[in-house]
């Protein structure tokens, strides 16, 4: 079988990690690059000399017209994701898209419907679905290790406000929002993925801290089966030892699971213990390719992106109206 031909749309900072993954796969070839900024393409080529002769274009349409590709990985500003995803699907092309998948629930519904209608793989690059620590937690919940989930507490911190000054991430016309839409999207996703229950309502408090977009957010979420979650995103946390601080506690009727910035602990009859062995991890890029080739199910399909868009929109509405909003 010939290798999958992959196009890269958006050659900025986020693309380099995905390109590294793709270049290490024998069943993939990067067939085209697209970015309206020549310097973006030049920088990516300088980082990866294997791309020196890869055809380059300034738009998605020009790339799809100029080179036959099986799939496209999308790393453009958030508010452009929907039109780029739908543009690929209209050409029968598979899609991997960086988070958030879309910035509105309406766009999310369009993407889900179009992915189903075209039978193309759309994968949202939510890395926590592929990380050993979170895979262990997901498996433990599914096998009933802590009984029924009762409460979830999650905190994420990053020096996001300072680090994104002057970039498109603080321009709502391109970002669709601030920290909650950006890095915070990962926390919204992982909580809804782990709990895996319909959301009934959300109460949100969102503060811009003087920035053009939101910086700090606190959400109280009620799930349909009675589980309640508290989710706090801190976008002005200084002196974070890593790029993102993340702390998640999932309490159940028979124990608890704790994620502490990459490490996992369980609380049971023997007290707090740390798993001896975690399951093997993967990457969104590897899973996307395997899903296209029929070798694995899509571990972060577009419905997870829709779920995040719905909850984020409800939280923003709740904060604006200062009232609880149903989802």
- On the question of pLDDT at 242 being above 90, the answer is no
The stretch 104-118 carries a mean pLDDT of: 98
- Residue 133 forms part of a structural domain: yes
Tokens of 6: 């992959």
- Residue 92 forms part of a structural domain: yes
The predicted structure's pLDDT at residue 270: 85
- The 3-state secondary structure of the chain reads CCCEEEEEECCCCCHHHHHHHHHCCCCEEEEEEECCCHHHHHHHHHHCHHHCCCCEECCHHHHHHHCCCCEEEECCCHHHHHHHHHHHHHCCCEEEECCCCCCCHHHHHHHHHHHHHHCCCEEECCHHHHCHHHHHHHHHHHCCCCCCEEEEEEEEECCHHHHCCCCHHHCHHHHCCCCCCCCHHHHHHHHHHHHCCCEEEEEEEEECCCCCCCCEEEEEEEECCCCEEEEEEECCCCCCCCCCEEEEEEEECCEEEEEECCEEEEEECCEEECCCCCCCCCCHHHHHHHHHCCCCCCCCCHHHHHHHHHHHHHHHHHHHHCCCEEC
Q: How far apart are CA 93 and CA 7, in angstroms?
A: 10
- On the question of pLDDT at 148 being above 80, the answer is yes
pLDDT digits (tens, 9 = 90+) for 153-162: 999 999 999 9
The stretch 69-98 carries a mean pLDDT of: 98
Tokens of 308: 């995040």
- Residue 303 forms part of a structural domain: no
- Residue 176 forms part of a structural domain: yes
> Is there a single domain that holds both residue 141 and residue 271?
yes
Distances (CA, A) of 126 to 52, 193, 226, 292: 29, 10, 26, 17
> Is there a single domain that holds both residue 264 and residue 139?
yes
The stretch 81-107 carries a mean pLDDT of: 98
- On the question of pLDDT at 269 being above 90, the answer is no
> Is there a single domain that holds both residue 152 and residue 217?
yes
Q: Which domain CATH number covers 108?
A: 3.40.50.720
> Is there a single domain that holds both residue 246 and residue 140?
yes
- Residue 153 forms part of a structural domain: yes
The predicted structure's pLDDT at residue 240: 75
The stretch 178-191 carries a mean pLDDT of: 98
> Is there a single domain that holds both residue 193 and residue 317?
yes
- On the question of pLDDT at 317 being above 80, the answer is yes
The stretch 168-184 carries a mean pLDDT of: 98
The predicted structure's pLDDT at residue 1: 79
> Is there a single domain that holds both residue 176 and residue 320?
yes
> Is there a single domain that holds both residue 157 and residue 118?
no
306 and 193 Cβ atoms separated by less than 8 Å: no
> Is there a single domain that holds both residue 238 and residue 265?
yes
- Residue 22 forms part of a structural domain: yes
pLDDT digits (tens, 9 = 90+) for 57-78: 999 999 999 999 999 999 999 9
- Residue 135 forms part of a structural domain: yes
> Is there a single domain that holds both residue 11 and residue 95?
yes
pLDDT band at 241 (very low <50, low <70, confident <90, very high): low
The stretch 163-192 carries a mean pLDDT of: 97
Q: Which domain CATH number covers 274?
A: 3.30.360.10
> Is there a single domain that holds both residue 209 and residue 289?
no
Instruction: Give the count of domains, the chain.
Output: 2
- Residue 304 forms part of a structural domain: no
> Is there a single domain that holds both residue 119 and residue 20?
yes
Dihedral angle over CA of 51, 54, 58, 60, nearest 10:
-100
Least confident window among 117-126, 201-210, 242-251: 242-251
> Is there a single domain that holds both residue 144 and residue 270?
yes
pLDDT digits (tens, 9 = 90+) for 9-52: 999 988 999 999 999 999 999 999 999 999 999 999 999 999 99
| 197 or 240, greater pLDDT | 197
The stretch 127-150 carries a mean pLDDT of: 97
Reported pTM: 0.96
Q: Which domain holds residue 270?
A: 128-278+309-326
320-325: long-range contacts (C-beta < 8 A, 24 or more apart)?
Answer: 323/203, 324/201, 324/202, 324/203, 325/201, 325/202, 325/203, 325/204
């Amino acid at each position: 079988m010939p290798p999958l031909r992959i196009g890269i749309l958006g050659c900025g900072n986020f693309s380099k990690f995905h390109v590294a993954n793709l270049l290490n796969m024998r069943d993939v070839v990067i067939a085209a690059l697209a970015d309206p900024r020549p310097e973006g393409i030049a920088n990516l080529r300088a980082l990866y000399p294997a791309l020196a002769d890869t055809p380059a274009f300034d738009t998605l349409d020009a790339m799809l017209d100029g080179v036959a590709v099986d799939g496209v990985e999308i790393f453009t500003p958030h508010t452009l994701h929907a039109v780029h995803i739908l543009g690929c699907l209209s050409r029968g092309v598979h899609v991997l898209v960086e988070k958030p998948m879309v910035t509105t629930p309406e766009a999310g519904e369009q993407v889900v419907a179009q992915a189903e209608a075209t039978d193309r793989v759309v994968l949202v690059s939510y890395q926590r679905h592929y990380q050993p620590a979170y895979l262990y937690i997901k498996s433990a919940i599914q096998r009933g290790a802590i009984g029924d989930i009762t409460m979830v507490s999650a905190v994420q911190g990053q020096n996001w406000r300072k680090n994104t000054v002057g970039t498109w991430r603080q321009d709502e016309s391109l970002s669709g929002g601030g920290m909650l839409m950006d890095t915070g999207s990962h926390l919204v996703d992982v909580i809804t993925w782990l709990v895996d229950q319909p959301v009934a309502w959300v109460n949100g408090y969102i503060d811009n801290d003087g920035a053009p977009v939101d910086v700090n957010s606190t959400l109280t979420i009620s799930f349909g089966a009675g589980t309640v979650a508290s989710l706090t995103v801190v976008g002005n946390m200084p002196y974070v030892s890593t790029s993102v601080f993340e702390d998640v506690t999932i309490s159940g009727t028979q124990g608890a699971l704790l994620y502490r910035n990459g490490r996992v602990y369980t609380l049971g009859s023997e007290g707090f213990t740390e798993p001896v062995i975690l399951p093997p991890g993967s990457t969104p890029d590897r899973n996307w390719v395997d899903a296209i080739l029929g070798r694995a199910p899509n571990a972060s399909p577009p419905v997870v992106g829709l779920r995040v868009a719905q909850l984020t929109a409800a939280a923003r509405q709740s904060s604006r109206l200062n009232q609880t909003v149903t989802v």
